[in-house]
Amino acid sequence: MAELDEAELVRRVAGGDRAAFDELYRRTSPWLAVRLRRRCADDDVIADVLQETYLAVWRAAGSYAGSVTDGSAVGWIWTIAANRLVDAFRRRARQERVPAVALLETTAPAAEDEVMAHRVDQNFEQALLRLPPELRQVLQAMVLDDLSVRQTAVLLGMPEGTVKTRARRARIALREALS
């Protein structure tokens, strides 16, 4: 097997030759792993991409072996790996966009807790309404809408420094009103 080039190994893999596949893997996987690490630092993703790549090589070797293109077998393997890496990045991005599902409480709150929560909610609401409108807007955007300083600045059309200052002043005012 050592005298065969990668293209011939792929052709033999297409015929179901496991020894040719093992040799192809031994020759190309270290190089492929290094190239993938240049594009992704997550070792788990790299391992998954390598596995998916060589699975695809095993399954699709016939499509390469029958091709009449002048492309190299190593280039063909790299193309498969690069596409699998892009797929992995897309999967990760989709998973990060999926909102977490809030778990429901299994026990009902005590009546006293509900009364206190209602009273605290009323006190908080009253304190919030007593804030100047410009402070209330910033606090609502950052706390209630869970926006970052930058997002709040864009939403309200003001510099980030102004947002930070108003948020601090609003928190101090609320703290004083609720204590």
Whether residue 98 has pLDDT greater than 70: no
| Structure confidence at residue 112 (pLDDT) | 55
Q: What does the pLDDT average to over 150-156?
A: 85
Q: Could you tell me which residue, 117 or 132, shows the higher pLDDT?
A: 132
| Structure confidence at residue 126 (pLDDT) | 78
CA atoms of 1 and 5, how far apart (whole Å): 9
Q: What does the pLDDT average to over 128-142?
A: 84
Assess contact for 130 and 98: CB atoms under 8 A.
Answer: no
Structure confidence by residue, pLDDT tens digits, 17-75: 999 999 999 999 999 999 999 998 899 999 999 999 999 999 998 888 655 555 688 88
Assess contact for 14 and 61: CB atoms under 8 A.
Answer: yes
| Structure confidence at residue 157 (pLDDT) | 87
What's this model's pTM, rounded to 2 decimal places?
0.52
Closest by alpha carbon to 140, among 126, 130, 128?
128
Assess contact for 53 and 36: CB atoms under 8 A.
Answer: no
Per DSSP, the three-state class of 135 is: helix
Measure Cα distances from 52 to 11, 64, 139 in Å. Answer: 19, 17, 48
CA atoms of 64 and 44, how far apart (whole Å): 28
What is the chain's alpha carbon radius of gyration, rounded to the nearest angstrom? 30
Confidence of residue 120 (pLDDT cuts 50, 70, 90): low
Closest by alpha carbon to 124, among 62, 175, 72?
175
Whether residue 101 has pLDDT greater than 70: no
Measure Cα distances from 16 to 12, 32, 66, 132 in Å. Answer: 7, 22, 14, 76
Q: What does the buried/exposed string (b/e) look like for 128-147 if buried means 16 or more CB atoms within 10 Å of the residue's CB? A: beebeeebbbbbebbeeeeb
Q: What does the buried/exposed string (b/e) look like for 2-19 if buried means 16 or more CB atoms within 10 Å of the residue's CB? A: eeeebeebbbbbbeebee
| Structure confidence at residue 171 (pLDDT) | 85
